Amino acid sequence: MKKVFLIIISIIVIFSILGSIYIHQKKAIANEIIMEEIKNRGWEKNIKDSSIHYNIMLGRVEKNITYIDEPKNEYIYYVSPSVSVFKSNNNSKVYGETNIEKNIKNYKYNIIR
């Protein structure tokens, strides 16, 4: 009985570790793609604060960025289609949203115009 319990616990631990590594890799790839787009637009020098997380509900990696000149607005950038650890992400595009939905075209750091 103890052996079965140890095998089950071992399998759970192994899958937890592999899942953590997989999500960490997805975050790294998505962060690289998003930051490349932001650098191409010349916005990287205006970043005040940023964080990256995996949204389990939507199955995507999101990067939240607050800019120096717009401290009350938080922009959420994500890559679509979702990044893959196992294949090329050449056809991935960066999309952005903001926490304020009023007339989104007036926001300076909006990727979708």
What's the CA gap between 93 and 112, in Å, rounded? 11
| Single pTM value for the model | 0.76
In this predicted structure, the answer to whether residue 83 has a pLDDT above a threshold of 80 is no
Buried b (16+ CB within 10 A) or exposed e, 78-111: bbeeebeeeeeeeebebebbeeeeeeeeebebeb
**Residue at token pair 């909006």:** 110
What's the CA gap between 108 and 113, in Å, rounded? 10
Residues linked to residue 97 through DSSP beta bridges, in sequence order: 76
Q: What per-residue confidence (pLDDT) applies to 113?
A: 39
In this predicted structure, the answer to whether residue 9 has a pLDDT above a threshold of 90 is yes
58 pLDDT band (50/70/90 cuts)? Answer: confident
Q: What is the rounded average pLDDT of the residues 86-110?
A: 65
112 pLDDT band (50/70/90 cuts)? Answer: low
Q: What is the rounded average pLDDT of the residues 65-86?
A: 83
With a pLDDT cut of 70, the percent of the chain lying above it is 82
In this predicted structure, the answer to whether residue 59 has a pLDDT above a threshold of 80 is yes
Q: Which amino acid is at 106?
A: N
